[in-house]
Amino acid sequence: MNLSKKSKTLIYSVIAFFVAAIAFFFVFRHHHRIDDGNSRKTEVEDDRQVRKEVNAIADTLEVKVLRYDQDLFAMDRKQIPAELKRLTAKYPRFIDSTAWRNEMYVRQITDFLNDPYIQEIHKDVDKAFPTLDSVEEQMKKALSIYKYYFPDAQIPVFYGVVAGIDPSAPFVLYVDNEIIINLDWYLGRDYKYYKDYRIPQYIRAQCDRKYIALDCFRRALAYRHLPPKTPVTLLDYMIEEGKIVYFTELMFPDTPVADVIGYSDEHFAWAQKYQADVWNYLIENDLLFSKDEDPIRRLVQEAPFSNPFKNSPGRIGAFIGWRIIVQYMEKHPEISLNQLMQETNSRTILDKSGYKPLK
């Protein structure tokens, strides 16, 4: 078939368009990853052999959150001792083998189950989380990557509980390779009892179901791999928080790092824009090696903002720590994730990172 000159030109133009589009896609994707900071988190996606290993690990995993909350409230109220005895084997963390014979314990469980406030929260949790299938799938993917980086690590046992929204209770608790998820902390920022308890808005922002799987890593599993050394200086705390963010980001490569840190998009944009100002403030006020609790509280711990930066997100020190860790690992690809987590000298990490944010 003979094509006219006009037809050939059109075909060449279409081909050129698709070539340019493909090239743009790869350039844009590469640029996007560089802006995101952590190039290692794309390793599972980009390296065929790594992806194959992670998928093979996933095939061996079965991740299930044991619903203590549902099993507890499903008990026959007229047969509490017998029901406790039945559940002892499944939930030794919560029910001692002799508990069913303990009249005081039986009475406490009965009172808990009959409390109208607890009953309402349980119904709300059960409505929000009739199953945790999507959470379990998220955790399975993350744990597959986790086992790739830490092949000898044991997979924890996961429990879902309803504790009654105790402001002093953690979102998740890690004990003896078991992770206990307080599901009543994930009912949405506007949940009525959070307001009744006057839970601060910056805490309620974390009360979203999208954080359940993340919290199992950033509030629990990450600490398994940190050295048994208590941070002393502000820099120590910042580096430790940065390690936790970096560790969690690797396990959830498709999750925006803003979610990993616990920032809104606006707060993350602020942190990116003003990190140089924050860094200069730390240097000018000789705060990096300060052992004073005040700057640690203001810049690392949960708060509505990072004093003295009025429009900032809380925990700006964690963001700076994460940026230092990212640059350190980008400059030293020979360092493994385990080596990073075990490094105890925060000054060494800072010096070797070359971190100097520009305005």
Based on the domain organization, do 73 and 170 belong to the same domain? Answer: yes
Residue 41, domain member (yes or no): no
Query: Is the CB of residue 65 less than 8 Å from the CB of residue 160?
Result: yes
pLDDT tens-place string over residues 108-127: 999 999 999 999 999 999 99
Based on the domain organization, do 210 and 68 belong to the same domain? Answer: yes
Among residues 194, 224, 254, the one where a domain terminates is: 224
Burial label for 60, CB within 10 Å (0-12, 13-18, 19+), is exposed
Based on the domain organization, do 172 and 309 belong to the same domain? Answer: no
- Tokens 């309402």: give the residue: 120
Among residues 196, 224, 252, the one where a domain terminates is: 224
Based on the domain organization, do 144 and 191 belong to the same domain? Answer: yes
Residue 22, domain member (yes or no): no
Residue scoring higher pLDDT (27 or 266): 266
Instruction: Give me the domain span that covers residue 122.
Output: 57-224
Does residue 28 have a pLDDT over 70? no
pLDDT tens-place string over residues 233-286: 999 999 999 999 999 999 999 999 999 999 999 999 999 999 999 999 999 999
pLDDT tens-place string over residues 160-208: 999 999 888 899 999 999 999 999 999 999 999 999 999 999 999 999 9
Maximum CA extent, the chain: 95
Contacts of 281 (CB under 8 A, 6+ apart): 287, 308, 309
Domain count, the chain: 2
Based on the domain organization, do 102 and 145 belong to the same domain? Answer: yes
Among residues 174, 199, 224, the one where a domain terminates is: 224
Q: What is the dihedral of CA 252, 279, 300, 347, to 10 degrees?
A: 80
CA distance 32 to 28: 6
Based on the domain organization, do 278 and 148 belong to the same domain? Answer: no
Confidence of residue 345 (pLDDT cuts 50, 70, 90): very high
Q: Which of 192, 182, 130, 124 is nearest to 158 (CA)?
A: 182
